[in-house]
Structure 1
């Protein structure tokens, strides 16, 4: 089954917890701290596999977690790093942050890899907190949580040439005759429910890849019919081959169809109309097509389009078409992926109270919320049920300026503070 879009959640492995331990040897019953650090959490990694051509696997599995790091041990033994989770994707996969819609990666080449969720670092063992004033630290750190991401995957076919046109104009027949692609063909609309790829050989060592894009209809760019699901597959093509049924046997006007399809391409992205486009006047084996051809050819050539009379069924005119398309592909510049036009985003709401430290404070329902990557990370790694660890966190927050910022926001003793998933009451010493 061909699937070209999926939404998944990925999470890097949690770092292992640091150990709280002291040497207990025969002649050193009260030795110094020797708790080792926790191991790094594993990463979630995407790797391109040319043997894949669909995102179907992501329809069945939605959550992907890398392995956690191992906890530290006594005698300064550090925990092992968690294994990375390797996920293979087909070439042409674009990875988006589903929350911000920003592109995380555009994966094209075989073996290309990207880390999409980093594992957390291991917590420090108590041996790491020893200092001249703290000779026997009785606390260690939790491991850092792994990075969590909700991702949207889109597959954009890697084809040099894209066939476009209304349903039932003969695109599937054409691609089956010029390549080894064998799409299902029938005399009814929307026979093609998925893009078909075919390699067209044009010489002993020359070829190009052609994609049969399922039939578009008016309004496809806005979600009508099936077309909006497949327009993205034209974004990487160098040449567009526009197929018309010039016979008009279904009661349609070929020139009107031509206008409608190009309007759909422009509505999806104006850049598509900048691609080289040639026109196939198909079904020339039918008498009505022969009667209509000269008028259609004259009109479209006046607008600067090359028009090729073709019968996809008999093969008439196909060689000349392929020869021209091959030449255009070779002459075309490498396509830079289309960047959808976006409105300027104005971020509203709370801004960092302390930009240097990167946190901000908001008050909601009487609770003071402290938000920021670094402060939330430190809290998550603190073993708050350990008095010494909680005291160390308090000193860290004071150095970061969190306490001063809370006072500036009007906090009083007994008020509730929330940092990440942790809540506590505020009291001055």
Structure 2
């Protein structure tokens, strides 16, 4: 399945039905009496979050969505039928923007959550509505109103509690495959991972926690360099960041700093997000060198540095214990949401 996390669509709510001019024929009623019914309401366009969807791929082929028009009013004061709403299913975690103003229209996070993005037009009034002492036989009615039209931009932001970040080839995909049932493509060249990978890691109590392997960031990612700019948005919702650093790199400290600079440049609360540091591929470097790198990182960050090998599962148990402990401490904090919602 192709992973698409951005899409633009046009939505148009249904037009309200027209009111009509009609008269009933009854004794003692002047001119038969007005009896034209009102038109029905136009259908809304509604987005619904569906937990079974993982991508916005469907919207690459379908761009225009329209609600049903309301029915025309009928004689004998019958109101026209309301137009059917157009329901559009989107993945959980979809943020909706007005494409022209960049205003946030809504954020669909919970399964089944609904958002009306275009209201249907009101039905027109029939001539019965205009009956008065001065006008006992009105011969005019109103047309239905047009439904709302707008262009929307949708962005999918993955819902994961733990985001795994690091430079290309830091071992993120290998780690998520070791911790979960996810089987991402793994190879020894930059940008092996072209899309975010999700994996469910089981806690000791059996509960599942979603980990997201974010494609490799590089220097300048926040400005659109490489792949990072496309996927930085996916770590905005995470509660905890797991920063993976390659112990075999020429300068592991510089690599750590590159990622931190990109998080600060991107902003949106990412620099303040709690982080756990893990030095990966320690089985490929002598112990003395690994300890020296870990000590430098710890002195620089004032936090402990875990030494692991994702490929051999070395050191993963202590790392997971720290992750569970950190998530428990953050349990009372809501998943970060976008400003202005």
Q: TM exceeds 0.5?
A: yes
Residues 30, 136 of structure 2: 8 Å contact kept: no
> Which whole-Å CA distance do the structure 1 matches of 2:117 and 2:253 have between them?
47
- Note the residue ranges of structure 1 that are not aligned, 5 or more in a row: 341-429
> Which whole-Å CA distance do the structure 2 matches of 1:159 and 1:242 have between them?
15
Q: Which residue of 2 aligns with 1:299?
A: 296
Q: Which residue of 2 aligns with 1:351?
A: none
Residues 43, 67 of structure 2: 8 Å contact kept: yes
> Which whole-Å CA distance do the structure 2 matches of 1:75 and 1:159 have between them?
57
Shift of 1:29: 9.7
Shift of 1:287: 2.8
Q: 1:264 aligns with which of 262, 265, 269?
A: 262
Q: Which residue of 2 aligns with 1:364?
A: none
Shift of 1:25: 6.5
- Note the residue ranges of structure 2 that are not aligned, 5 or more in a row: none
Shift of 1:28: 7.4
Shift of 1:334: 2.2
Residues 374-413 of structure 1 mapped to structure 2, 5 A cutoff:
none
User: What TM-score do the two structures reach when normalised by structure 2?
Assistant: 0.94
User: What TM-score do the two structures reach when normalised by structure 1?
Assistant: 0.75
Residues 247, 292 of structure 1: 8 Å contact kept: no
Q: Which residue of 2 aligns with 1:215?
A: 216
Q: Whose Rg is larger?
A: 1
Highest relative contact order (Cα 8 Å, sep 6+), 1 or 2? 2
Shift of 1:27: 9.2
> Which whole-Å CA distance do the structure 1 matches of 2:129 and 2:221 have between them?
61
What secondary structure sits across from 1:180 in the alignment? coil
Residues 238, 336 of structure 2: 8 Å contact kept: no
> Which whole-Å CA distance do the structure 1 matches of 2:319 and 2:241 have between them?
12
Shift of 1:124: 0.2
Residues 23, 29 of structure 1: 8 Å contact kept: no
Residues 41, 122 of structure 2: 8 Å contact kept: yes
Residues 239, 336 of structure 2: 8 Å contact kept: no
Residues 36, 77 of structure 1: 8 Å contact kept: yes
Residues 5-44 of structure 1 mapped to structure 2, 5 A cutoff:
5-24=6-25, 30-44=31-45
What secondary structure sits across from 1:295 in the alignment? helix
Residues 172, 183 of structure 1: 8 Å contact kept: yes
Instruction: Please identify runs of 4+ aligned residues in structure 1 that moved more than 6 A.
Output: 25-29
Shift of 1:83: 0.7
Deviates more, 1:206-215 or 1:29-38: 29-38
Shift of 1:16: 0.2
Q: Which residue of 2 aligns with 1:174?
A: 175
Shift of 1:48: 1.3
Shift of 1:79: 0.3
> Which whole-Å CA distance do the structure 1 matches of 2:84 and 2:271 have between them?
47
Q: Which residue of 1 aligns with 2:337?
A: 337
Shift of 1:78: 1.0
> Which whole-Å CA distance do the structure 2 matches of 1:75 and 1:193 have between them?
63
Residues 120-269 of structure 1 mapped to structure 2, 5 A cutoff:
120-248=121-249, 252-269=250-267
> Which whole-Å CA distance do the structure 2 matches of 1:265 and 1:292 have between them?
27
What secondary structure sits across from 2:312 in the alignment? coil
**Structure 1 pair 29–144 and aligned structure 2 pair: CA distance change class (3 A):** same
Shift of 1:24: 4.6
> Which whole-Å CA distance do the structure 1 matches of 2:170 and 2:258 have between them?
14
Shift of 1:279: 1.2
Q: Residues 272-328 of structure 1: CA distance to partner in whole angstroms, max 9, x if unpaired?
A: 12111111111111135x443222211221121221111111111111111111111
Residues 271, 338 of structure 1: 8 Å contact kept: no
Deviates more, 1:330-339 or 1:307-316: 330-339
Q: Which residue of 2 aligns with 1:64?
A: 65
**Structure 1 pair 82–270 and aligned structure 2 pair: CA distance change class (3 A):** closer
> Which whole-Å CA distance do the structure 1 matches of 2:327 and 2:284 have between them?
30
What secondary structure sits across from 2:241 in the alignment? strand
Residues 202, 323 of structure 1: 8 Å contact kept: no
Residues 300-319 of structure 1 mapped to structure 2, 5 A cutoff:
300-302=297-299, 303-319=301-317
Count of residues in Structure 1 that have an aligned counterpart in Structure 2: 336
Note the aligned Cα RMSD (angstroms). Answer: 1.7
What secondary structure sits across from 2:270 in the alignment? helix
Shift of 1:206: 3.1
Deviates more, 1:298-307 or 1:229-238: 298-307
Shift of 1:193: 0.8
Residues 277, 305 of structure 1: 8 Å contact kept: no
Shift of 1:132: 1.3
What secondary structure sits across from 1:273 in the alignment? coil
